[in-house]
Structure 1
Amino acid sequence: ANISEFRLALPTIDQISVESRPLHPRKRPDILVADKGYDAQWLREALTKRGIKHKIPKRRKIGHEEEPSSNKRIESYYKTRWIVERTNAWLQNYRRVTVRWDYHTDSYEAFIELACILICLRRVLR
């Protein structure tokens, strides 16, 4: 069974090491932009506790046709989100990455890197 993605958000964020300048790495990103699937109060509180600003649109309430007004302020952060979504779509073209048969994380990550190399090569050779 697959684990819901938003439950893996905090463990994933805890593994990120963002470098702001040489020899002075920041441990966490400044901001997290996510979609409505990550709209959970416990996640917002955990991000705030870690000092991470969050831009997560709220879900529409049942019976309401309008989007929450707070979602309008987040739209500007979504202007470059398509780059991430496009890259994920490109990675889905590689079955070995899409369907994980590898038991060891190292070999799975190696195939992700190989897929990224192939994607870059195809872009360069166009």
Structure 2
Amino acid sequence: MSLAVYLASTHESQTALAVLAQIRIPQAKRKSRKRIRVLAMDKAFDSTPLRRRLRAKGIRASIPECRFKNRRRRGPKPKHHPASRKRYQVERLHAWLDNYRALVVRYERKADNYRGLMVFAFLLICIRVLLHW
């Protein structure tokens, strides 16, 4: 899991690679690898530079195109990977995080305090899910 806190004015496509660099994927009987094969994102991450950088790293991006963007349409339309069907899990987590008012409104001014509240909320959500499972 990776967590990064940025300013609200920062576009998601600019922060995506910094967050991806922090993720390690454990594998059995091998060292943990840092390469992600497929990445499913929402429309907010739709940008040509991000797609190019992901393609250069060997990551297949499943990002729906934003309808109202003035982007040059070259080549075939991007295809969606089956990993995009599990996107609801991420959206459900975001809905659970909306239950914590201090995270939604962001009363904390310092990024470290906010990050600590976010980790605490993740822990509470995990405990609640495990107890009701």
TM-score (norm 2): 0.72
Q: Structure 1 stretches (4+) deviating beyond 6 angstroms?
A: none
1:108 and 2:114 aligned: yes
Verify the 8 A CA contact 1:14 1:28 in the aligned structure 2. no
Between Structure 1 and Structure 2, the one with more helix by share is 1
d(CA) in 1 for partners of 2:118 and 2:26?
22
Greater relative contact order, per chain length (Cα 8 Å cut-off, separation 6+): 2
Residue 14 (structure 2) aligns with: 7
2:55 equivalent in structure 1: 48
Establish whether residue 95 from structure 1 lines up as the match of residue 101 from structure 2: yes
What is the CA–CA distance in structure 2 between the aligned matches of 1:90 and 1:25, rounded to whole Å?
A: 30
| Partner residue in 2 for 1:80 | 86
- Contact 1:30–1:51 (8 Å) recurs in 2: yes
- Hey, what does 1:21 align to over in structure 2? 28
For residues 114 and 68 of structure 2, what CA distance do their matches in structure 1 show? Answer: 39
Measured on the aligned residues, the alpha-carbon RMSD in Å equals 2.6
Question: CA offset at residue 22 of structure 1?
Answer: 4.6
How many residues get paired? Answer: 118
Structure 1 residue matching 2:26: 3-state secondary structure: strand
SS in 1 for 2:66: coil
Q: State the one-letter code of the partner of 2:128.
A: R
Residue among 31, 34, 42 paired with 1:35:
42
Determine helix, strand or coil for the equivalent of 2:64.
Answer: coil
When you count strand as a share of all residues, which structure comes out higher? 1
Using the TM superposition, give the Cα deviation of residue 103 of structure 1 relative to its aligned residue in structure 2, in angstroms: 1.7
Which of the residues 68, 74, 77 maps onto 1:70?
77
Please list the CA deviations of residues 31-89 of structure 1 after superposition, one character each: whole Å capped at 9, or x if unmatched: 11111221111101101111211111222357xxxxxx836x41733221101100011
Q: Which runs of 5+ in 1 are unaligned?
A: 63-68
TM-score by length of 1: 0.75
